Amino acid sequence: MNLLSSEQFISRRSPVVSTRGLVATSQPIATLTGVDILKGGGSAADAAVAAAAVLQVTQPCSTGLGGDCFVLYYCSERRSVEALDGSGRSPRALTAEMARSAGFVDRLPPYHPYTVTVPGAPAAWMDAHKRWGRLPIADILQPAIEIAERGFPVSPLTAGWWEERARRTLSRHRHGGELMIDGRGPRPGEVMRLPNLARTLRTLAERGRESFYSGEIAERIVAAVREAGGMINMSDLGEHESNWVDPIRIEYRGCHVWECPPSGHGLAALLALNILKMSDFDGLPAGGTDRFHLLVEAMRLAFADAGSYIGDPEFTDVPLSGLLSEEYAELRAKTISMKRAAESPLCGDPASFASAGGDTVYFCVVDTEGNACSFINSNYLGFGTGIVPEGCGYSLQNRGYGFVLESGHPNCLEPGKRPYHTIIPGLSTDAGTGLLHSAFGVMGGMMQPQGHLQILSALIDDGLDPQAALDRGRFQLEQGSPDGDLLVEDSLSEDLREGMKRRGHRLKVLSALERKTFGLGQIIVRDPDGVYWGGSDPRGDGCALGLY
């Protein structure tokens, strides 16, 4: 890491450093759980699954058993990266024609029961543990079970999100009260107990993944969705499988940057980084308008392509080799004007190019052997649909909101299909040695590839430590739209904001709690001396802790 002078030091807190492993999550209790698992001899995957389960308990307004998850895993012995796609599919009885006949035109309403897709997280937890874990799954899930039974004080930011999202969704469904106190969300510091969730987690620990996808739990999922007017049935659940997939990557300034492939939009982050690499970037000061404009415009072009080409690869051919080629990135970079923001940029045509290479919680773990787990888990929009299976203590996601209803589009709703997915874990490795460089992620819908671009530029281009990279002010193209308004944090200088306005960017300046739209990130970086540096986003309640 670069050593900064006192004038340059802008972080609100110092990074955490360790040589024996590190955990960074969005809740201190989840971080502590991960550290305890590592101290007990667990692997990075063991600690990650344990943290995921605790976050289901302490932050169910963002994540849980009713959602999906994705994992990137770095094996230090082989210096290799594996990817697990833990996303679920749409009901096989649901078609785009049915949705259109119900009066929906472009896409489904965000909280409609048609948006419930099969929860992929429980299977992914068990599959990740089976491949990379060492400790018994019962030991890994026990901390979450105990916390759910005895109760926990709800952290301040989480309490605000919980109340907002409970009123929007949980209050509309018969069993939503399982995640509320007297019809409301818990107040900051109020002790919340979730006994029904504890029973569900214990069943999963004792009987394995099949206990979730068949039998009583599955029957309760189907009953809840059907009662609300949705389409899930027992065969949808019983046929679910996680997907082991090949991660995609690019080379960026000496690092290989790895993402999960479509139907997730990690591709958008790689497209933007490739464009940035092919642009006249060197020498542009980090806090200057030129640099900021270039980052925004690279992201704008990346979203134009992502929105046009990303879909479930089992249903559509995503032209990855062309999209990720340096030749294509160079062509796209040449379309950027340094004087003016692009208006409604069109997608490119990657077909003629080929390449030679390759509401949500995000958290990352490095274990004592140097293995790293980059892990993300989500219900999508808060509690998702807010539909709670009776007696189960968790809500069901609304990931189907990611589909479009345009016939012929790669992401059009079809039976048994995975939607465009916003949750993306990230990893980077040294392009020469294959050693781990970082595990990173920024949770938050369409913010995620934009967050990946900005924190990687901070880490790689500017040499910032993880905490300083997370503290740096961010931008977001609103809703990931190539022609959308540009949201920026009020921590960015007035000169920078005025410079962006002069170039035609339509700015909205956000402050205080509005800053949650810029996502919550966690980062672990390995430096050349083998020391791990960890950071946790100041916009959230989390922290990073190391083993000593």
Q: Which positions are catalytic?
A: 360
**Whose structure tokens read 């189960």?**
392
User: 256 φ, ψ to 5°?
Assistant: -90, 125
d(CA 525, CA 440): 8
Per-residue tokens: 331:
């062509």
DSSP 211-247: HHHSSHHHHHHHHHHHHHT----HHHHHT---EEE--
Give, in degrees to the nearest 5, the angle at Cα 444 between 61 and 121. 60
CA dihedral (76, 80, 81, 82) positive or negative: negative
What are the strands, taking DSSP E only, across 212-310?
Answer: 243-245, 248-252, 255-259
Residue bearing tokens 């450093």: 17
Query: How many angstroms separate the CA atoms of 539 and 149, rounded?
Result: 29
78 CB-contact burial (10 Å; exposed 0-12 / middle 13-18 / buried 19+): exposed
Residues 135, 38: Cα–Cα separation, whole Å: 10
Neighbouring CB atoms inside 10 A of 6's CB total 5
Beta bridge pairs of residue 245:
83
CB-count burial class (<10 Å; 0-12, 13-18, 19+) for 184 = middle
Cα distance between residue 445 and residue 264, in whole Å = 11
Q: Is 137 helix (H, G, I), strand (E, B) or coil?
A: helix
**What is the distance, to the nearest Å, from the Cα of residue 246 to the centroid of all Cα atoms in its chain?**
18
For the chain, counts of helices (H) and of strands (E): 17, 19
Output DSSP code: residue 22. E
Strands 426-430 and 436-443: antiparallel
User: Cβ contacts of residue 81 below 8 Å, gap of 6+?
Assistant: 72, 73, 74, 75, 247, 249, 258, 427, 429
Which of 59, 107, 64, 179 minimizes the C-alpha distance to 412?
107
Token readout for 152 is: 């926990």
- Among all chains, which residue has been given the structure tokens 């987690």? 201
Alpha helices in 353-479 (DSSP H): 448-456, 466-471
Bridge partners (DSSP) listed for residue 153: 191
Beta bridge partners, 360, equal: 378
Alpha-carbon distances of 62 from 27, 228, 233, 277, 400, rounded to whole Å: 12, 21, 25, 34, 16
